[in-house]
């Protein structure tokens, strides 16, 4: 966007609050973002004190730098901006952007892979049944693997 707008300055740091989809949505509304990252060591404390608007972390593990965390934030924010996703991706985002659920399993060709076949309902052409199968499978998968997402 217009480069004359004051950027919201983000310092990527393990000291920050952990990045979430909620934060991504808020950042997507800002006219311009700027990322500051440490590498090997941190960043001069005066830069942190005087220049940054917020600190964000992507999680608790030791890294060599904040550049990859910044790329992760950029990726999550960019896909929320108009014109970034293709029509197909956009449709998928709308039709199943529950975001509180894991994604349902995907199948492509061939029909039979090492004896494992594609679920019949997906080949039926019955779109309401396909939708129902996807929702139910996504819910079951989320309950099994990430029950924390359901609360």
Q: Contact at 8 Å (CB) between 58 and 18?
A: yes
Q: How far apart, in whole angstroms, are the C-alpha atoms of residue 70 and residue 34?
A: 10
* Per-residue binder mask for ligand 4G1 (CB under 6 A), 68-97, x = binder: -x----------------------------
Among 10, 27, 52, 58, binds ligand 4G1 (CB under 6 A): 58
Minimum distance, C-beta of residue 122 to ligand 4G1, in the bound complex (Å):
38
| Locus of tokens 């740091």 | 13
Specify the stretch interacting with ligand 4G1 by CB under 6 A; choose among 10-18, 24-32, 99-107, 124-132. Answer: 10-18
Position 50 contacts ligand 4G1 (CB under 6 A): no
């Amino acid at each position: 966007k217009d480069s004359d707008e004051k950027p919201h300055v983000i310092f990527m740091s393990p000291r920050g609050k952990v990045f979430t989809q909620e934060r991504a949505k808020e950042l997507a509304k800002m006219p311009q973002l700027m990322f500051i990252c440490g590498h090997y060591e941190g960043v001069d404390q005066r830069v942190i004190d005087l220049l940054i608007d917020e600190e964000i972390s992507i999680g608790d593990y030791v890294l060599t730098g904040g550049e990859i965390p910044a790329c992760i934030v950029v990726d999550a924010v960019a896909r929320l901006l108009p014109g970034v996703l293709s029509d197909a991706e956009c449709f998928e985002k709308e039709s199943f952007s529950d975001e509180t659920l894991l994604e349902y399993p995907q199948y492509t060709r061939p029909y039979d892979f090492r004896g494992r076949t594609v679920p019949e309902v997906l080949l039926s052409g019955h779109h309401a049944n396909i939708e129902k199968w996807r929702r139910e499978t996504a819910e079951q998968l989320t309950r099994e693997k990430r029950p924390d997402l359901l609360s």
